[in-house]
Structures are given as C-alpha cells and as structure tokens.
Amino acid sequence: MNATPQTRALAIGKWGCLAMCYIYCAGVEPDDPEEYIRLVSHAMDEGLLDEECTVLSASKLLKFVSGKDYYVGKKDVDEKNIKDIKEPTPVRFSYYGSGHWVVVENGEIAFNPLSYSKSVEKGRPTSARPITLRK
C-alpha cells in the first residue's frame, strides 16, 4: 500500500532534511519550498528514499535530480574542521540523540531546510557527506 498523503507529508517534514540538502548540493534550487517537497516525494516514488525519507543511495538521488554522476563519502566532523569545508556539503548536527542535516559551504551554514533546529542551535557537527562530481 502506498503512503497516504498525510503520512508522506509527515515523513518529508520530519525526516527529509538530508534529501533536501542533497538536492541543494546538486545545484537544484527550487523557487519555492513546495518544489523541494515535490522533488523529495517524487524521489520516494522512484524508490530512492524509503517511507521515512532515508536516502537509500545518495549518488542515485543526486543523479535523479541533476542528471550528473556524483560520489558521496562519509566523514566525521567537529567544530574545528567544519571551517575546512569549502564545497556545498551535507553536515549533520546532533543534540542529545536528535539530529538535523544542513549544507555547509565555506565553513558556514549555506542551507537549512528548517527555519529553526535545536540540533543546529545547541548541538554540534558530527558527520559530513562530501560530494564529488565524477568525471
């Protein structure tokens, strides 16, 4: 059974931050917030995200939204080395077990899918997903 509209909307709103960060990092910057939601929902329909918006393959999601091939790595980060991040990179901030993904570029938050996140405000960066365009 496919997710009901309210269930899907809740999942995207609650757990869609990493998918939205990948969309932003791919250079896709929708004109309105609703387009992010449509893109994430469409990616779910394509099997690129599960019912809780877990990104099943970052490189496939990036290709889906941009048409380009990317490699996505995993890296631990902290308050010190976050300043070394120059290219748009999803970074997870954690606070007492909760987490939220934002995009860091030139050592600063360049994109946050939420207007406010306690994890970002009071937490610390813990993990990054460096993205490299494949040639």
pLDDT on residue 54: 96
- 133 to 70, 71, 73, 127: CA distances (angstroms): 4, 6, 12, 20
Q: How does pLDDT run across 2-14, given as a tens digit for each residue? A: 668 899 999 999 9
Coarse DSSP helix, strand, coil percentages of the chain, rounded to the nearest 5 percent = 40, 25, 35
Q: How does pLDDT run across 74-104, given as a tens digit for each residue? A: 999 999 999 999 999 999 999 998 999 999 9
Match 């631990």 to its residue by tokens. 76
pLDDT on residue 30: 81
The mean predicted confidence, pLDDT, of the chain is: 94
pTM for the full predicted model: 0.94
Number of domains in the chain: 1
Compute the distance between CA of residue 26 and CA of residue 87 in angstroms, rounded to an integer.
11
Helix (H, G, I), strand (E, B) or coil at 124: strand
Domain containing 65 equals 5-133
